[in-house]
Chain A
Amino acid sequence: MRKKRKSVKWKRYLPLYFMALPALVYLFINNYLPMTGLVVAFKNFNYKDGIFGSPWCGFANFEYLFSTSTSFIITRNTIVYNAVFIILNTVAGVAAAVLLNEIRSKKAVTVFQTTMIIPYLLSMIIIGYLVFAFLSSENGFINKHVLNFLGVELISWYASPKVWPWLLIFINTLKNFGFLALIYYSTLISVSNEYYEAAKLDGANKWQQIWYITIPYLKPTIITMVLLSVGRVFYSDFGLFYQVPQNSGALYSVTNTIDTYVYRSLIQLGDVGMASAAGVYQSIVGFLLVLAANAAVRKISPDNAMF
């Protein structure tokens, strides 16, 4: 009896599965098949024997990630920056989306949206040049015009590690909040106006409307976006940490992350195994973090957990 029902169900969903087929095949080819390549991380790779024929070497490829005191700095930088980025981007994104939602003029919304999304579309290399135009010692805008004008002593920006955490956080927020705001705003558009009208009738002010209607509506989207970024906590935006500080050695204590460390270590060495080892390390930690974060969400609010 039960079996029969199951097969009926299966038949009913067949067209849906069929529709999903191309995407599933794509996912398999693009995301699952390459995972077999993970074995490279545990091999002493050479081109003659290929990926599967090269000799095993245990965890030797992982050693360089943990061998010096730099390991602590890169792990700390990667995690702390990402944590700050996740919080700030979410707050700024939600705030911008809520504000957009309050604007009634269609034209104004389009203008604001476009302005906010432009930084997201800029390449980090271009941003690096822009930052250099502001901060270069001799011809930078800040030193040449602002500090000179104020009569303050000039600052050698690319040799001042203290400024860069703030700078990087600022640049990252400026670059990314617009995109998030767009996603949140698209969720808000679907909220029926009736809720707000009803709330108004009950005497709710603007703050209360936002707090009790808008934010609860956004909650599932916020949780999904945060969970997605938690999975990438062990990765860093290479452009932001390498191109924007112009690879300045004096700033490594605050700009060196796992990705830039791996790049600098292996650019000469060209070792496929060691590069994969870093990738394996990052993705496994990221995977575990997503599981943990999801478990936490399930505990607090089971409806919003992803799985």
Chain B
Amino acid sequence: MFRKRLTRGMTAVLLTTAILTGCGGQGTHEKQDDGKELDKITFAFFCNVVIPEDMDKVEEAINEITREKINVEVELLPMSLSTYEQQINLMISSGEKLDLFNMFGTQFAVDVTQNKLAAMEPELLKTVAKDTVETIGEDYMKSVTVNGNVYGFPVLKDNAQVRGVVMNKRMLEENNLLEEAENVKSTDGLAALYDKMLSADPDMAMVCAGDTASSLVDSGFMTYDSLGDYLGVLMDYGQGDLEVENLYETDWYESTVNYIHDWYEKGYILKDSSVNPDTGVPIYQSEGVFSILCNYHIATDSVIENMTNVPSTGTWVAEPLATTTSINGVVMSIPATCENQEPVLKFLNLMYTDKDVVNLIDWGIEGEHYVHVDGKENVITYPEGVTGDNSGYAMNCGWEFGNQLNSYVWENTGDDDYYERMADFNNEAIKSKAIGFSFDSSSVKTEVAALNNVLNEYRLGLENGEMDPSEYLPKFQQALKEAGIDKVIEEKQKQLDAWAAEQ
């Protein structure tokens, strides 16, 4: 008995020492039992709110697979979203060990111009990451390729987007409008529905945008490729002849903001939605608004229903569109300070091709954090006695890791074929002609900085219907001119032409 305890104690001491030396980061190699050298990599990513308790367990489970298959050990470095970007910037600029990190695609173009990212070695892309490059596909690889160099992999998930609406099912049923609502195909159809709903309950707000940072145009009307920053866009789903236009001077824009202002006047739109800190899901959850317009994919209504417990139904009000921005929703990149890309790409390759690895990091350990629903191959749920509140790994961030299409589906979100349908959705979307183009704004950054201020001042107010277009649209256009939008568009057109000539 005593001996057993002693051995246990000794093991504990030895393990601690091993961990401590590991943390010391003396070298990236460590001998495994059988004498093989183990490559160690550090992988940073963001968590929605809190970092799950059982992260260590999941890390160990992942390492069991990676040690076996690719001889790599991964240190997972989850960080809270609120300070994520600053922490990553600090880690890279101070040369701290970091080999792989996730970022939102909106950062991608800027990070490339600031040399934050390493170009992936072409030789390795052809060898160790060959399967991944094939899985992602030529079209999508274009969107992470700048001047012939690959700077990351886009996470495979809903890589196209469509404008859609999520509506409160209970309210529809009360007014016997459910069937009509499910057949809405356009914003005009939506307006007719709002009209009927409003006559039943004149005090109810009908609609607001999906979150505080986006407008009704972003979430319900947009049919252009924003080319990343809305300063110079491709109209008409990016299907024309690559002519960069000033969105805010187009007839389309003028008629759209007038249309929305008309909605506002009719009382459809939630008052103060541009300034209300709860605009979007929180207000929808408290049933303060009948519907929200938002970025949609195949089952956004179920996703929102799971999130809010409000019975919901939804529909599209435009055509699905794939752009560089939508494909690069989240990008997994290697920072410029990474010393050895080979183990990183090997690990990335598992993230895109190995079902076990992606499910581990998405959902945790089977039996402990999730179980399969009876009779379903891909649908999972909480084990008995576990809920979202007490689960050690309720991270729910599948959308930021490798190939989500390879992962399991949470109960109530979809069925066994959920991700097959998602893949179809991605494939069938209209593809903007500028997929793969990212704008390098460094030569016009003074103008872009001033323009961002102008956008902030007018965009939400106009696009949520609060500002009267006849008064504010001319002011907006004038302010954009003064801040130098023409110069930015000219530069963008130049880069786009050069890019197109290369293709």
Q: How far, in angstroms, from A47 to B271 measured CA to CA in the complex?
A: 44
Chain A positions 78 through 121: 1 when the CB is less than 8 Å from some CB of chain B, otherwise 0: 00000000000000000000000000000000000000000000
Which of B60-68, B108-116, B191-199 interfaces with chain A? B108-116
Q: How far, in angstroms, from A51 to B115 measured CA to CA in the complex?
A: 13
User: In the complex, how many angstroms separate the beta carbon of A275 from the nearest chain B beta carbon?
Assistant: 10
User: In the complex, how many angstroms separate the beta carbon of B202 from the nearest chain A beta carbon?
Assistant: 13
User: In the complex, how many angstroms separate the beta carbon of B482 from the nearest chain A beta carbon?
Assistant: 6
**Judging by beta carbons under 8 Å apart, are B450 and A267 in contact?**
no
Report if A138 contacts B (CB, 8 A).
yes
**Judging by beta carbons under 8 Å apart, are B459 and A67 in contact?**
no
Give the residue name and chain of the B residue nearest to A273 (CB).
B445
- Please judge, given known A-B contacts A136-B272, A158-B275, A248-B274, whether A63 and B456 are in contact too, CB under 8 Å: no
Report if A246 contacts B (CB, 8 A).
yes
Report if B380 contacts A (CB, 8 A).
no
- B479 CB contacts on chain A under 8 angstroms: 68
Q: How far, in angstroms, from A156 to B468 measured CA to CA in the complex?
A: 14
Q: How far, in angstroms, from A267 to B86 measured CA to CA in the complex?
A: 12
Q: How far, in angstroms, from A44 to B457 measured CA to CA in the complex?
A: 28
- Please judge, given known A-B contacts A46-B114, A132-B276, A268-B106, whether A159 and B449 are in contact too, CB under 8 Å: no
Report if B441 contacts A (CB, 8 A).
yes
**Judging by beta carbons under 8 Å apart, are A248 and B453 in contact?**
no
- B445 CB contacts on chain A under 8 angstroms: 64, 269, 271, 274
Give the residue name and chain of the A residue nearest to B483 (CB).
A68
**Judging by beta carbons under 8 Å apart, are B441 and A269 in contact?**
yes
- A156 CB contacts on chain B under 8 angstroms: 271-272
Q: How far, in angstroms, from A264 to B454 measured CA to CA in the complex?
A: 9
**Judging by beta carbons under 8 Å apart, are B466 and A64 in contact?**
no
User: In the complex, how many angstroms separate the beta carbon of A35 from the nearest chain B beta carbon?
Assistant: 17
Report if A283 contacts B (CB, 8 A).
no
Q: How far, in angstroms, from A156 to B115 measured CA to CA in the complex?
A: 46
- Please judge, given known A-B contacts A249-B274, A249-B460, A268-B106, whether A47 and B116 are in contact too, CB under 8 Å: yes
**Judging by beta carbons under 8 Å apart, are A64 and B449 in contact?**
yes
- A250 CB contacts on chain B under 8 angstroms: 461, 466-467
Interface residues of B in 437-456 (CB under 8 A from A): 441-442, 445-450, 452-453, 456
User: In the complex, how many angstroms separate the beta carbon of A135 from the nearest chain B beta carbon?
Assistant: 9
- B277 CB contacts on chain A under 8 angstroms: 128-129, 132, 246
- Please judge, given known A-B contacts A132-B276, A137-B272, whether A265 and B460 are in contact too, CB under 8 Å: no
Q: How far, in angstroms, from A132 to B279 measured CA to CA in the complex?
A: 13
- B459 CB contacts on chain A under 8 angstroms: 249
Interface residues of A in 221-275 (CB under 8 A from B): 245-250, 252, 256, 261, 264-272, 274
Q: How far, in angstroms, from A252 to B457 measured CA to CA in the complex?
A: 7
Report if A303 contacts B (CB, 8 A).
no
Report if B396 contacts A (CB, 8 A).
no
**Judging by beta carbons under 8 Å apart, are A47 and B115 in contact?**
yes
Report if B84 contacts A (CB, 8 A).
no
**Judging by beta carbons under 8 Å apart, are A269 and B448 in contact?**
yes
- Please judge, given known A-B contacts A67-B450, A159-B466, whether A270 and B461 are in contact too, CB under 8 Å: no
User: In the complex, how many angstroms separate the beta carbon of A47 from the nearest chain B beta carbon?
Assistant: 4
- Please judge, given known A-B contacts A47-B115, A47-B116, A138-B272, whether A265 and B336 are in contact too, CB under 8 Å: no
Interface residues of B in 416-453 (CB under 8 A from A): 441-442, 445-450, 452-453
- A68 CB contacts on chain B under 8 angstroms: 450, 479, 482-483
Contact partner of A69 (CB less than 8 A), chosen from B92, B93, B276, B482, is B482
**Judging by beta carbons under 8 Å apart, are B483 and A45 in contact?**
no
Give the residue name and chain of the B residue nearest to A270 (CB).
B110
Q: How far, in angstroms, from A64 to B444 measured CA to CA in the complex?
A: 10
User: In the complex, how many angstroms separate the beta carbon of B39 from the nearest chain A beta carbon?
Assistant: 23
Chain A positions 135 through 174: 1 when the CB is less than 8 Å from some CB of chain B, otherwise 0: 0111000000000000000001011000000000000000
**Judging by beta carbons under 8 Å apart, are A64 and B446 in contact?**
yes
User: In the complex, how many angstroms separate the beta carbon of A40 from the nearest chain B beta carbon?
Assistant: 10
**Judging by beta carbons under 8 Å apart, are B229 and A268 in contact?**
yes
User: In the complex, how many angstroms separate the beta carbon of A205 from the nearest chain B beta carbon?
Assistant: 51
User: In the complex, how many angstroms separate the beta carbon of B128 from the nearest chain A beta carbon?
Assistant: 24
Q: How far, in angstroms, from A46 to B107 measured CA to CA in the complex?
A: 14
Q: How far, in angstroms, from A132 to B277 measured CA to CA in the complex?
A: 9
- A70 CB contacts on chain B under 8 angstroms: 450, 453
Report if A60 contacts B (CB, 8 A).
yes
Report if B458 contacts A (CB, 8 A).
yes
Chain B positions 77 through 106: 1 when the CB is less than 8 Å from some CB of chain A, otherwise 0: 000000001000100110000000000001
Contact partner of B115 (CB less than 8 A), chosen from A49, A129, A158, A248, is A49
Contact partner of A137 (CB less than 8 A), chosen from B113, B271, B452, is B271
Q: How far, in angstroms, from A268 to B445 measured CA to CA in the complex?
A: 11
**Judging by beta carbons under 8 Å apart, are A138 and B446 in contact?**
no
Q: How far, in angstroms, from A64 to B448 measured CA to CA in the complex?
A: 9
User: In the complex, how many angstroms separate the beta carbon of A185 from the nearest chain B beta carbon?
Assistant: 36
Contact partner of A246 (CB less than 8 A), chosen from B116, B275, B335, B448, is B275
**Judging by beta carbons under 8 Å apart, are A138 and B458 in contact?**
no
- B466 CB contacts on chain A under 8 angstroms: 159, 250
- A60 CB contacts on chain B under 8 angstroms: 446
**Judging by beta carbons under 8 Å apart, are A67 and B446 in contact?**
yes
User: In the complex, how many angstroms separate the beta carbon of B233 from the nearest chain A beta carbon?
Assistant: 15
Report if A3 contacts B (CB, 8 A).
no
Report if A50 contacts B (CB, 8 A).
yes
Interface residues of A in 17-65 (CB under 8 A from B): 44-51, 60, 63-64
Give the residue name and chain of the B residue nearest to A51 (CB).
B93
**Judging by beta carbons under 8 Å apart, are A64 and B450 in contact?**
yes
Q: How far, in angstroms, from A48 to B107 measured CA to CA in the complex?
A: 17
Residue among A70, A249, A268, A270 with the most chain B CB within 10 A?
A249
Contact partner of B449 (CB less than 8 A), chosen from A128, A132, A249, A266, is A266
- Please judge, given known A-B contacts A64-B445, A159-B466, A247-B275, whether A48 and B483 are in contact too, CB under 8 Å: no
**Judging by beta carbons under 8 Å apart, are A268 and B452 in contact?**
yes
- A50 CB contacts on chain B under 8 angstroms: 93
User: In the complex, how many angstroms separate the beta carbon of A24 from the nearest chain B beta carbon?
Assistant: 25
- B93 CB contacts on chain A under 8 angstroms: 47, 50-51
- A269 CB contacts on chain B under 8 angstroms: 110, 441, 445, 448-449, 452
Give the residue name and chain of the B residue nearest to A60 (CB).
B446
**Judging by beta carbons under 8 Å apart, are B276 and A261 in contact?**
no
Interface residues of B in 224-275 (CB under 8 A from A): 229, 271-272, 274-275
Q: How far, in angstroms, from A138 to B278 measured CA to CA in the complex?
A: 14
- Please judge, given known A-B contacts A246-B276, A249-B274, whether A264 and B452 are in contact too, CB under 8 Å: yes
Q: How far, in angstroms, from A51 to B95 measured CA to CA in the complex?
A: 12
User: In the complex, how many angstroms separate the beta carbon of B226 from the nearest chain A beta carbon?
Assistant: 12
Interface residues of B in 386-416 (CB under 8 A from A): none
- Considering the complex of A and B, which 10 residue pairs feature the smallest CB-CB distances, nearest first? A246-B275, A265-B449, A48-B115, A46-B115, A64-B449, A137-B271, A47-B116, A249-B457, A63-B446, A64-B446
Excluding A252-B456, A265-B450, A268-B229, 10 further A-B contacts by CB distance (< 8 Å) are A48-B336, A50-B93, A60-B446, A64-B445, A67-B447, A129-B277, A132-B276, A156-B271, A158-B274, A249-B460
Supply 7 A–B pairs (Cβ within 8 Å), ascending by A.
A46-B116, A60-B446, A64-B450, A245-B275, A249-B467, A265-B449, A268-B229
A residues in contact (CB < 8 Å) with B: 44-51, 60, 63-64, 67-70, 128-129, 132, 136-138, 156, 158-159, 245-250, 252, 256, 261, 264-272, 274
